[in-house]
Amino acid sequence: MLLYAGRRLTYGLLVLALVATLVFLIIRLIPGDAVRLQMADAPGVTQAQIDQRTAELGLDEPILSQFGHFVGGLAQGDLGTSFDDERPVTTKILERLPATLELGLLAILFGVLLGVPFGMLSAIRHHSVVDNVMRFLAVIGMSVPNFWLALLLITFLALWFGWSPPLVYASPAENLGQNLVHMLLPAIALGAATMASIARMLRSSLLEVLGSNFVRTIRSRGASERVVVLKHAGRSSMIPVFTVLGLQVGHILGGTVILERIFAIPGMGSLIFEAVGQRDYPVILGCVIFYGAIFILVNVVVDLLYAVIDPRIRYKGASA
C-alpha cells in the first residue's frame, strides 16, 4: 500500500513539474509588459525607470535563466516574491487559502449530501417518474456553468425575496453566521456539477451491482431490500463515486476563480484573477503549484480509500 502511494505521489509530482514548466512559459507569451502595467498609474515614468525595474525583477535575463532561478527557489521551498507588493508569494497564498478551502469543502459537502441520496433513489426507482426527474436535474447540473448559475441564484433571490448575499466577507472566526450566509450561494453554484456527477455515477454503478449474482444470493437468503441496498450493494457501488469526487476537485478549484470574484470572497481564486491582470508571474506560478498539489494529494487519498471500501483491493495491494 505504501509503495503504491509513493508511486502515485511520484507520478503526481512529475505532472506538477510539467504543468509548472508549461505555465512558466505560457504566461510570458501573454501580451503586455508586467513592468509597464505595474507602473502605469505612476505619472512621468521614464524608460530608464522601466528598464531599472525590469532589471530588479530579473525580467531582462533570458527565459532559461529565469526558469533556472525559479526551479532553484522552488527546490528550497521558495515561490518567489510578488511583483505587485514585493511580499513573499507563500505568505500571500497562505492568507487567501482558508477562504478557498472553506468554499471548496462546502461545495463538496453539498454535492455529496445531495448527490448520494439522489443517485440511490434514482437507481432504486429506475424508469419511474422520480428517476426521470433526477436524471433531468443531473443533466442540468452538469450542463449549466457555475458562474451563470451563481448569477441566476443572486437574481432570483433578489427579485423574489428581496435578499442578496452580504457584500463584505467575514471569516468564520469573526462572524460564523455571516460567513455561512456569504458562502451559501457560491457553494451551491460550485457544488451543483459535483452533485450531478455523483448522482449519475452512483445510479449507474448501483444498478449494475443490484443486478449482480452476489446481490441475488443475498436476497435469496431473506435479507431486506434496505439491507441489500445500504449494506451490500451501496458500499460496492461507491468506488466509482470516489473516482468522480477526486476528479471534481479540479473542477471546484477552477471554479473558485470566477465565483470568488462574483461574491467578493478574498480567496486564492481572486488572487489568481488579480495576478493575471497585473502579470504577477510569481503569484500565478505559486497558485498553480498549490492548486496542483491539492488536486494530486486528494486523488492519492481517494485511491487509498478504495482499499477501505473494497477489501479485495486491499488484498491485491498487500500481495503485490
The predicted-structure confidence for 142-174, as pLDDT tens digits, reads as follows 888 999 999 999 999 888 888 887 778 888 888
> Could you tell me if 206 and 126 are in contact, meaning their C-beta atoms sit under 8 angstroms apart?
no
16: nearest Cα among 294, 275, 317, 314: 294
> Is 123 part of a structural domain of the chain?
yes
Same domain, 202 and 133: yes
> Is 128 part of a structural domain of the chain?
yes
> Could you tell me if 268 and 93 are in contact, meaning their C-beta atoms sit under 8 angstroms apart?
yes
Confidence (pLDDT) at 318: 46
Domain boundaries, position 244: 93-319
C-alpha cell at 200: 449519475
Confidence (pLDDT) at 40: 66
Confidence (pLDDT) at 311: 59
Confidence (pLDDT) at 196: 92
Confidence (pLDDT) at 109: 93
For residue 28, pLDDT over 90 is answered with no
Q: What would the pLDDT profile of 203-240 be if each residue is shown by its tens digit?
A: 888 888 887 777 778 777 777 777 777 777 777 788 78
Same domain, 118 and 169: yes
pLDDT, greater one: 119 or 33: 119
Per the structure, the count of domains in the chain is 2
Same domain, 143 and 267: yes
DSSP one-letter code for 19: H
Same domain, 35 and 169: no
Same domain, 41 and 140: no
Range with lowest mean pLDDT among 40-49, 82-91, 169-178, 189-198 = 40-49
Same domain, 186 and 261: yes
The percent of residues in the chain predicted with pLDDT above 90, rounded, is 20
Q: What would the pLDDT profile of 82-122 be if each residue is shown by its tens digit?
A: 888 888 999 999 999 999 999 999 999 999 999 999 988 88
Rounded to an integer, the average pLDDT of 12-33 is 83
> Could you tell me if 119 and 198 are in contact, meaning their C-beta atoms sit under 8 angstroms apart?
yes
Confidence of residue 315 (pLDDT cuts 50, 70, 90): very low
Tell me the Cα Rg of the chain: 24
> Is 83 part of a structural domain of the chain?
no
- At residue 81, the 3 state secondary structure works out as strand
For residue 42, pLDDT over 80 is answered with no
Please give the single-letter amino acid code of residue 4: Y
For residue 307, pLDDT over 70 is answered with no
For residue 259, pLDDT over 80 is answered with yes
Bridge partners of residue 81, in order along the sequence = 88
